Each structure stands twice: as structure tokens, then as C-alpha cells.
Amino acid sequence: MRILLIGAGGVGDAIVKIAATRHFYEHIVVADFDLSRAENSIEWVRKRNGEEKASQFTAAKIDASNAAQIVELTKAHNITHILNAVEPKFVNTVFSAAFTAGVHYLDMAMSLSEVHESDPFHLPGIKLGDAQYAVHDQWERSGRLALVGIGVEPGLSNIFARYAADYLFSDITEISVKDGGNLVVRNEAGEEIFAPSFSIWTTIEECLNPPALWTRDKGWHTTEPFSEPEIFEFPEGIGNVECVNVEHEEVAMLPRSIRADRFSFKYGLGSDFIGVLKTLHMLGLDGTKPTRVRSAQGPVDVAPRDMVVSVLPNPADIGPLMTGKTCAGTLVLGKDKNGRERATYLYHAADNEWTMANYESQCVVWQTAFNPLIALELMAEGIWRGAGVLGPENFDAKPFLDLMSSSVGYNIEWKQQERLPASPLRQP
């Protein structure tokens, strides 16, 4: 297996560091528009794991918006698998380039949605991932696998849902992905600052778009951003966090292959974070179309959202300033294998202090990074096999979770926690 990793930002850098502990691949080409980022990731491996391991990595410069360049680099290095670790706005380009090059493909975020033109808060327009699922047949005929949405959310959350459906439940009423944490970022003066732990470009996209839901009576439909607030008690000492509906891939993915009455995704943003996002939207600073701006050097065209990204701290760099934990999990409600009411929260929690000490990666990007590597290892071993455009929920979850938690695997603990089956939503 020869892998082309496109993107050496926070997640891509963590992928390289975790991959250095595994042996299932022949070579990994680490490619980024900023060549120094790829080189720095490999240098970290050289210092921590030695020259022999570092020799399994090569740095390369790439423009993720240039499909021809991706195809050329793929062929030059005899790549068999492309792992996409760049912003979702590049998904279509990298995805199509992988098909053109005739290689397998993985990503952690799917093609972007487009809102319904006349009724955005009730009807879906183009859903997340629709552009990729639309070409499933072409990928299947080619015999190549496009494993989409294999980060932590989507990704590990989908695997938890599949595991629950196969091994824990006989009938499922609801699958609701719940993401929350108690992370705090402070500047050098000790003052708490607004510094999202993941790509702010992606955060704006998923939080301000109309969230999608799926119910058995309506199918896919949408609602207002930040709707249906509830208090969810997260484990590992995180505690109660207000969660709201957010647009996310799981709702577009899971109903295709798992039977349940309702699917949702809720994110523990907190009132302050929601307030900032609403202000950005009110001021038009969430826009993605270039706007003419006057400057001392003359007029320039700048997308407002790109400007916001440029003035906020880089998520890859805030690890030393961050404290707390993040938790990604899937709450499943229904009946167990004996027909009794059951509610189970399957989750993984990451402590920023631990990830910084062991990988020099902040916990949110590290938690995303290990999932595509586990999937690649299962593919290398022939355990996960398939063709077409498929999500992780299309594969047996047990081998993934076993490899994830095994002491000779990734040694990453996941847990399941029983909840009160009939407990209503707690309104804040």
C-alpha cells in the first residue's frame, strides 16, 4: 500500500505521527501547498522514530484545487490510496482526481451541501455527500473503493452506530450523534480567547447551514440552525453541555444502510460560541464569494470567510494553549436483543494534555486522525473490502473497534455507557 496524504495541517500532521507507529504500508507521500508543513511532520518522525521510519515518508508540494497535479503526483509515486485531509471545499477535486488516477480514496469530510432555494429550513437542497454518492456506480464498476467520511465525526460515530445495530440492539428508535467537550483556550496572559479547535472554515459551514434530520415519516428534512437545544451529560468528567442541531454528514449517511426511526447530530457549542457564529453571519463574514476590499496596496478580492480564518489562531497551533477533553459519541435508543428498552452512549474521549504529551497534537485533530489509518490497515489486511462510494457504516464495525483498542493495535480505548432509556430531553 502506497498512500498519498493530501494536507499536512493539524489532522494531516497527526496522521503522519500516528502512522509512524504502524507497519501496514510501504510508503506515504505527505503533500501540502506549504511544503514546509509536510517536511516538519516528517522531521518529527525522524526525531521520534528514527531515520529508517522517516525514510518511509516523502514530502511533496501540491495544490489541492488542481486535479491534474494530483493525478500526476499519484502516478509519479505509484500511489494506491489517496487520503484527503484538506478543507471540504477541495473534496470534489481530490475525489475526482483519485477516480481519474484509478486509485482508492478516503476522506474525513464529504462534498458540500447547497441549501434549498425556496424553503431552506424545511427542505434539503443538495445534501452533504450527494455529489459523491451520485457516482457510486462508476466507482463500483471500476472496482475501486471511495471510503468517505472516515474521520471521527463522521467516521467513528458511524462505526459506533453500525456496532450498536449489529451487536447491541434488535430495534432502534433513534441514533443521535453527540459531540461535546470542556476545552478552553487561553492566551499567554491566561485570558480565555475565541479559538476553535477545528477548522473555522468548516465550523462556520456546518453550524450556519440548515441542519438536516431524518425521520421515518418525513425522510430527510431541515430545520433552523441551533434548533432543539438540550442538555446532555458527557462522560469522563466533562459534565453537562448544551447541544444543538448542526448540519453533519452522519444524517446524510446512516439512513442509507441502518434502520432507525430518527437520525440527528447535535454539537455542544455553548452560548458564547453560538453568539460569535450568529454575529459572523449577521455581518456577512461567513460568505465564501470574494468581495472587493480596499487596501493600502489597492483593491483586492477576498472571501470574508477566508479573512476570518486568517485572523484566528491556527487550530494546529493551539494545543499548548488548550486544556480539557473532547468527547465524540453516538447515543442509540431502542430495544436490546431481548426486547427490553435500552439507551447506550458509545464514545471516545481524548484528553488534550495526553495527546500533546505523546504526539504534540491537540486532542481534536488527533482524535480525527487515527480513524482513517485504522481503516487503511483493515483494507491492507483485506478485512474491509468493497467497491463504490461507501461509508464506514457499510463495513463490520467489530474489526475496527478491536484494532482500535487492542494493545498490539492502536491501544485507543472506546467505551459504552448505559443511559436511562425513557429519559426526556432536558431543556436548558
DSSP codes of every residue in 1-27: -EEEEE--SHHHHHHHHHHTT--S-SE
CA dihedral 106, 195, 237, 344 (to 10 degrees): -40
- 360: exposed, middle or buried (C-beta count within 10 Å: 0-12, 13-18, 19+)? middle
**Rounded distance, CA 41 to CA 53, Å?**
13
CB contact at 8 A, 117 and 157: no
Does residue 8 register a pLDDT over 60?
Answer: yes
The pLDDT, as a whole number, for residue 422 is 56
**Which residue type, as a one-letter code, is found at position 171?**
D
pLDDT at residue 50 in the model: 96
- pLDDT reading at 17 higher than 50: yes
The predicted-structure confidence for 315-342, as pLDDT tens digits, reads as follows 767 778 789 999 999 999 999 999 999 9
At 174, is the secondary structure helix, strand, or coil? strand
Cα(193)–Cα(187) distance, integer angstroms: 7
Which residue type does 303 have?
A
Question: With 70 as the cut, is the pLDDT of residue 198 above it?
Answer: no
Q: Among 184-198, 347-361, 366-380, 403-417, which stretch is predicted with the lowest mean pLDDT?
A: 184-198
C-alpha triplet 231, 270, 114: angle, nearest 5°: 100
Task: For CA atoms 155, 231, 281, 364, give the dihedral sign.
Answer: negative
What's the pLDDT score for residue 417? Answer: 96
The string of pLDDT tens digits covering residues 236-283 is 999 999 999 999 999 999 999 999 999 999 999 777 777 788 788 788
Size of the chain in residues: 428
User: Structural domains in the chain?
Assistant: 2-116+128-151+367-405 (3.40.50.720), 156-365+413-419 (3.30.360.10)
Q: pLDDT: is 380 or 184 the higher one? A: 380
- Give the span between the Cα atoms of 211 and 119, in whole angstroms: 13
Query: Where is pLDDT greater, at 160 or 186?
Result: 160
Taking a C-beta distance cutoff of 8 angstroms, is the pair 2, 78 a contact? yes
Compare 187 and 366 and report the one with higher pLDDT: 366
Angle made by CA atoms 84, 98, 3, in degrees to the nearest 5? 55
Confidence of residue 424 (pLDDT cuts 50, 70, 90): very low
Rounded-to-integer distance, Cα 222 and Cα 124, Å: 6
pLDDT band at 197 (very low <50, low <70, confident <90, very high): low
Band of pLDDT at residue 428, cut at 50, 70 and 90:
very low
pTM of the model as a whole: 0.91
CA angle 403, 405, 410 (to 5 degrees): 65
Q: How confident is the model at residue 303 (pLDDT cuts 50, 70, 90)?
A: confident
- Rounded to whole angstroms, how far apart are CA atoms 385 and 378? 8
- The arithmetic mean of pLDDT across residues 36-51, rounded, is 97
pLDDT at 201: 73
Give the three-class secondary structure for 381. Answer: coil
> Taking all residues of the chain, what is their mean pLDDT, rounded to a whole number?
92
**pLDDT (tens digit per residue) in 220-234:** 999 998 899 999 999
Cβ atoms of residues 86 and 64 within 8 Å: yes
The DSSP output letter for 182 is: -
Which ranges of 102-180 does DSSP label H, i.e. alpha helix?
130-133, 136-142, 156-163
